[in-house]
Chain A
Amino acid sequence: GEDVEQSLFLSVREGDSSVINCTYTDSSSTYLYWYKQEPGAGLQLLTYIFSNMDMKQDQRLTVLLNKKDKHLSLRIADTQTGDSAIYFCAEGSTGGFKTIFGAGTRLFVKA
């Protein structure tokens, strides 16, 4: 079945870049998402990329998609303490309505 995998933890120093990686299995995925969950809150969509794109940049966020390897990454430039949160990778397709989420990567930012 469909599966989305990501590492559980990442720790970086303030000001450094963070790279969060994700792999997925469904080759029919049309949309790939990054959601952010801050403590005590629900998930918020950070950015998304269509499967026909290789890269998307949005201010400090860069999303890279390698469709051949089914690998998605989120790079956060100049990481701040306010970026500390759990980041969820998710994939969805126009053929179905399920969005499949990974387990989330907890990002720790050290001052």
Chain B
Amino acid sequence: ETGVTQTPRHLVMGMTNKKSLKCEQHLGHNAMYWYKQSAKKPLELMFVYSLEERVENNSVPSRFSPECPNSSHLFLHLHTLQPEDSALYLCASSQDIVGNEQFFGPGTRLTVL
């Protein structure tokens, strides 16, 4: 148990659907992250939030829309995705954004048909 939970664990959606991924951390951390993990590629940082403010948007297409309503919760809203967006989406948190160990959730396995 890492203290970071993600729901759902698996999601299959069509290209016209709208869905949301949810992440919750119970560690009292100030920073939260979304990563995309694709086979044989480096982990891709998508978004970083520090104290509920977005500090990094790593050239992510607008069909991915993050939301951080408070320091414990992070959402990733998805709409009109493409099949190449199929991947494992990992959420992580850390005490602060600089030089701290990141604690990862188990990920949401997303398949776009």
Contacts and interface: CB of A to CB of B under 8 A. Distances in A.
Interface of A: 4, 8, 30-31, 33, 35, 40-45, 48, 88, 90, 92-94, 96-104
Contacts, number: 60
13 contacts: A35-B104, A41-B106, A42-B2, A42-B4, A42-B104, A45-B101, A90-B43, A96-B98, A97-B98, A99-B102, A101-B42, A101-B43, A102-B43
B99 A103 contact: no
Interface residues of B, number: 27
Nearest to B105: A42
Interface of B: 2, 4, 6, 31, 35, 40-43, 45, 48, 50, 55-56, 90-92, 97-99, 101-107
A101 B45 CA distance: 9
Given A42-B106, A101-B43, A94 B90 contact: no
